[in-house]
């Protein structure tokens, strides 16, 4: 039962942490945010560039700056600097995984 609860918690948790990503042949220091298993995004330390992990291609894809507003909102929620609310984050899972 405990393992089941841990699995449920991980699948719905919002968390942020420092990390490194590879994008266009360059290693970048970023902050990463995961929302359960469906969204993994990163933002530059100056909060001006944003990326989403694409599981099907195993690559980071750059996001437009307008999507960055929602990403910043999610980071603020993860840091408990903002009350929980609805955010629109890009999905990292493939269409096959979405049906699971």
pLDDT digits (tens, 9 = 90+) for 25-84: 999 999 999 988 788 999 999 999 999 999 889 999 999 988 999 999 999 999 999 888
CA 91 – CA 53 distance, rounded (Å): 8
CA 100 – CA 88 distance, rounded (Å): 21
Q: Taking the CA atoms of the chain, what radius of gyration do you get in angstroms?
A: 14
Q: What is the pTM of this model?
A: 0.80
The number of angstroms, rounded, from the C-alpha of 57 to the middle of its chain's C-alpha atoms is: 16
Name, in order, each residue with C-beta under 8 angstroms of 3's C-beta and a sequence gap of 6 or more.
none
């Amino acid at each position: 039962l405990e393992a089941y609860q841990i699995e449920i918690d991980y699948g719905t948790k919002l968390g942020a942490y420092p990390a490194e990503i590879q994008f266009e042949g360059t290693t970048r220091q970023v902050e990463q945010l995961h929302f359960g298993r469906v969204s993994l995004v990163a933002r530059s330390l100056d909060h001006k560039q944003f990326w989403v992990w694409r599981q099907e291609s195993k690559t980071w894809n750059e996001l437009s700056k307008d999507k960055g507003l929602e990403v910043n909102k999610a980071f603020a929620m993860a840091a408990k600097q903002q009350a929980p609310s609805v955010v629109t984050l890009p999905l990292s899972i493939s269409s096959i995984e979405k049906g699971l």
